[in-house]
Amino acid sequence: MTEIKRLRESLNRTQEAVVDDLTNLAACLASEGRIKKRPTFSVRQYSKWEGENPPWPHPDARTVLSVYWQRPVGELGFRPQSTSSPDPPVLMPVPLISRGTAGEPLSTASESSPVNDHAPPPWLAQTTTDAASSTDWRIGEAEVELLRDAADDMDAIDQQFGGNRLWRPTRAHLYWVHHMIDRGIYDDALGQRLHAVAGKFTTSLGWFCYDAGLQAQARQYFSEALNAAMLTGDDVLACRTLSNMARQAVDLNKGREAVRFARLAYVHASEWRAPTRVLALLAIREAQGHARVGDALHCEAAIKRAWKEWESGTGDRDPDWTTFLNLAELTCLEGMCRLDLGQTARAQKLLAKSEATQDVAHSRNRGMCLGRLSAAALGNGDIDHSVDATKEALRLIEGGMSSNRAVEQMKMIHDGLARHHRAAGVRDLLEQIRTYVA
């Protein structure tokens, strides 16, 4: 009998009861910051841990288990899995699995299909020969967890550097998930998690395409993610996707569409009793839509609602896609609204405050804030501050920040500064901008 099973039975606890305890403990540890994110636990998973040669838990799960049983996981019977193998599997390319029309099975792409940014590449990823050719390809929980972690990593990199270099690898991951869904063998619970991961990759891919300036592709992926959310009843995915769509609609100068997306997201938010941080994000998205069409009255009301919800604080139910909405970012988003409404003095004050408190590690968000600050200062006739903000934004681009949206802002700033080319330092700055936006 394994030690972890002996401990459970000594307390006369069922596996179901222990899983509930672990889930509640994970929530507490996550809220205290002792683990990066809350792991999920299931009876099926726990049964494997009590068996012979239990699978090695993920780091956050190991922490929860160790705290719960008050001893290192090594004493519970777990051992790290060896990464060495006398006969490593032979790797081979797997044909890309491309989507057919609704109701049709996935088909293998032709080897002669052209490779470009608008069509999927003729490969998917690499996997072992066994898994690729087996008629009994069983999907494991560890594989799904690994993909979910990869999706989280993509989102984190986007927050730091931008989406220009992320949409291609994310697309490859998404195709692989669809391959697993359509060709693999798994139970209903794991199938739901696979579809959730697919939805996460799809809406993230839409966002990365949007940030990279690929607006048509972004709308396509957002639509696909929203359709998936409707089919599976995933209101969380629907909220996130509609929030993304609202942000894109503003940049496409479709303010009324942005408002409709944000309000539809509210409907889905009520279905899962979304936490206040989600409601704050949806409110500021609605405010941005109102600002773009010049509706100051409704914009003000939405901004107040966003701040009221935001001031309620964070909670352990906040989804990871709202963590970017800190004080600096909400201040920046309000400043963007003020700028769209023509309130340049108020916008400059808010954007300067936001830029001063932005996390330096998140260069894309800071770069976007600096670009808007430069535009606001320019609108106020404050050329010196516009020049300073633009120089700082260019330094971020030089440092590796990769966001087409930020670069596009530089084009608009270039055109605005060109009218002041005789001012000190402007002529050289215009030349510097042209090296990035030519």
Would you call 116 helix, strand, or coil by DSSP? strand
> Residue for token digits 């330096």?
360
Instruction: Give residue 81's pLDDT.
Output: 54
Q: Which of 20-29, 126-135, 304-313, 317-326 has the lowest mean pLDDT?
A: 126-135
Q: Count Cβ atoms below 10 Å from residue 283 Cβ, excluding itself.
A: 24
Q: Read off the pLDDT of residues 73-83 as tens digits, 9 standing for 90 and up.
A: 777 888 765 43
State both tokens at 374: 């430069």
Phi, psi of 92 (to 5 degrees): -145, 150
Residue 106 has pLDDT above 50, yes or no: no
Percent of the chain whose pLDDT exceeds 70: 87
Q: Count Cβ atoms below 10 Å from residue 93 Cβ, excluding itself.
A: 12
Decide: 416 and 262 in contact? Cβ < 8 Å: no
Instruction: Give residue 100's pLDDT.
Output: 38
pTM to 2 decimals?
0.68
Instruction: Give residue 342's pLDDT.
Output: 93
Q: Read off the pLDDT of residues 386-435 as tens digits, 9 standing for 90 and up.
A: 888 888 888 888 777 778 888 888 888 888 888 888 888 888 888 888 87
* Non-local CB neighbours of 1 within 8 Å, separated by 6+ positions: 9
Stretch 331-340: mean pLDDT, rounded? 95
Stretch 229-252: mean pLDDT, rounded? 94
Question: For all residues of the chain together, what is the average pLDDT?
Answer: 82
Q: Read off the pLDDT of residues 31-58 as tens digits, 9 standing for 90 and up.
A: 777 787 788 888 888 888 888 888 888 8
